[in-house]
Structure 1
């Protein structure tokens, strides 16, 4: 009993670190894009994210991680990652942090839909009902964007769809690849894919900006590391409901750093999306 409780507390600790790192990265992204273009910020995020792994892989004597038999697949994944992160960063610079976080909570819903299309997975009717309700929650949030042609808000929704497509690729093809290899090649190819767009409106970053971008790249790897440590100690189904702590953290960070506060429509949409996502998690792991 006590070892299980201790493992759960440790997993909760790592999960909280992952949530804090994710929200901190959002703050850094909103801050640094005031002086650099979005594509340039994404490029440095990817390139620093891959470079920081080189000494780690070399030190661990796992040089084979630099070799892969699925290079075209990693390139495709890097392309989708570049598109998703560009859309996400664009929306993040224009939309409240809490709103972007809530839209991201719809990721499991989009994964279910895409899995039924591309992986031919059977989805039970209660899951489809929850999916429809979740889209109603998204409609609460996106409705002002449709009325007022709010492109950044729609970009956040599209970014969530592309991230869900990445999850499908991971589930189908990347299951046997080492995690460090996946992160390294994904960041490397994403930086290559986004570089031509970033170079089109290139601005020479200052030394402080490069330091901040380096922190952003390291932070993106730390998010995944913390989450993997958490999931290694406890089941995903146990920790999934606790992920919604991120909404509270993003609201606090948004208020402290950018004087942001969610609207009533956003709160209503959040309640529907979170409730549906929790139901989907429970139903799949009951």
Structure 2
């Protein structure tokens, strides 16, 4: 898959990136880290929006704007042929997982700080690594398991279960994690035949349709300012999914997932500068462990890919 991904004319990777980083694994990890920044920008924008708008209307609005952004570029010229897929059943399955997981996520993010939301989401790689081994046939080596486990220890230090009372936001965020992990596993399966652009297009179409009933039940007429924020959320979200789906084409999903641990850094910064919350010592200690585990796995995987080319 790595070689075909490098030569795929539909790849979102710049040619200069391929020349500077010949290793597909290294490029995959870099794209995943960059996607994480966009996703945390999306999370911060959504948190600002749900302060004044119904969370599930925001979810529908974000996907509707995203579809309006991506559709003209993909359909120009070739029309529907540009987004033809033989895996519509898998796209539909992913839409079920994605909608279920993110209904819980959008409700939760209105109730808890971004850093806590990011920390709770870090349990996702446990489910993804296990699912990749069980359902995708990937070889999950000891280095990857160790990175996931060490990173999750950092998450436990931040969340401190048993010492801090759980609220409904925390419970819903925890419930969303395995469902979102299932959506990511289906996305990895889709990359075998579909380009990242096609995958994000169908994700946008189906998510818009799936979230529409929730939006109708809690309809809100947005102001022009709120429409602008929804558009910004769509840009962040679509870029994040394009980059992450491209990362899945280049690297095993179990190798990519530990990079999401870096999200605690971006989430903590947004909490401080946008919402006036500062992380405590436990958050910084847990984040340090998380970043260290992510850095080690990225370095080890790059070295392994270099030896394989040699």
What is the TM-score with the length of structure 2 in the denominator? 0.73
Mapped partners of 2:294, 2:274: distance in 1? 29
Pairwise CA distance, 1:131: 4.4
Pairwise CA distance, 1:268: 3.5
Q: Contact (CA 8 Å) 2:125, 2:258: kept in 1 or not?
A: no
Please identify, of 144-153 and 170-179, the stretch whose mean Cα deviation from structure 2 is larger: 144-153
Matched, 1:269 2:286: yes
Mapped partners of 1:200, 1:270: distance in 2? 39
Q: Contact (CA 8 Å) 1:29, 1:216: kept in 2 or not?
A: yes
Mapped partners of 2:83, 2:143: distance in 1? 43
- Residue in 2 that maps onto 1:38: 55
Q: Contact (CA 8 Å) 1:101, 1:250: kept in 2 or not?
A: yes
Aligned to 1:148, the other structure's residue is in SS state coil
Q: Contact (CA 8 Å) 1:144, 1:150: kept in 2 or not?
A: no
Please identify, of 83-92 and 221-230, the stretch whose mean Cα deviation from structure 2 is larger: 221-230
Matched, 1:96 2:142: no
Unaligned runs of 5+ in 1: none
Please identify, of 53-62 and 229-238, the stretch whose mean Cα deviation from structure 2 is larger: 229-238
Mapped partners of 1:232, 1:132: distance in 2? 24
Please identify, of 151-160 and 236-245, the stretch whose mean Cα deviation from structure 2 is larger: 236-245
- Residue in 2 that maps onto 1:111: 128
Change beyond 3 A, Cα 1:173–1:23:
closer
Q: Contact (CA 8 Å) 2:150, 2:289: kept in 1 or not?
A: yes
Q: Size of the alignment, in residue pairs?
A: 282
- Residue in 2 that maps onto 1:80: 97
Change beyond 3 A, Cα 1:120–1:212:
same
Pairwise CA distance, 1:64: 0.9
Matched, 1:7 2:20: yes
Matched, 1:257 2:274: yes
- Residue in 2 that maps onto 1:158: 175
Q: Contact (CA 8 Å) 2:262, 2:291: kept in 1 or not?
A: no
Among candidates 57, 62, 71, match of residue 88 of structure 2:
71
Q: Deviations over 1:10-63 (max 9, x none)?
A: x79977864553333222111111121111111111122122222101325353
Mapped partners of 2:30, 2:148: distance in 1? 30
Pairwise CA distance, 1:183: 0.6
Change beyond 3 A, Cα 1:195–1:84:
same
Change beyond 3 A, Cα 1:270–1:5:
same
Change beyond 3 A, Cα 1:277–1:105:
farther
Matched, 1:54 2:62: no
Pairwise CA distance, 1:177: 0.9
Matched, 1:219 2:226: no
Q: Contact (CA 8 Å) 2:125, 2:254: kept in 1 or not?
A: no
Change beyond 3 A, Cα 1:171–1:63:
same
Q: Contact (CA 8 Å) 1:237, 1:282: kept in 2 or not?
A: no
Among candidates 186, 208, 211, match of residue 203 of structure 2:
186
Please identify, of 184-193 and 243-252, the stretch whose mean Cα deviation from structure 2 is larger: 243-252
Q: Deviations over 1:245-265 (max 9, x none)?
A: 644333222211100112333
Q: Deviations over 1:62-100 (max 9, x none)?
A: 531343222222122112222233333333222222233
Pairwise CA distance, 1:110: 2.6
RMSD of the TM alignment (CA)?
A: 3.9
Q: Contact (CA 8 Å) 1:82, 1:193: kept in 2 or not?
A: yes
Change beyond 3 A, Cα 1:268–1:161:
farther
Mapped partners of 2:73, 2:95: distance in 1? 21
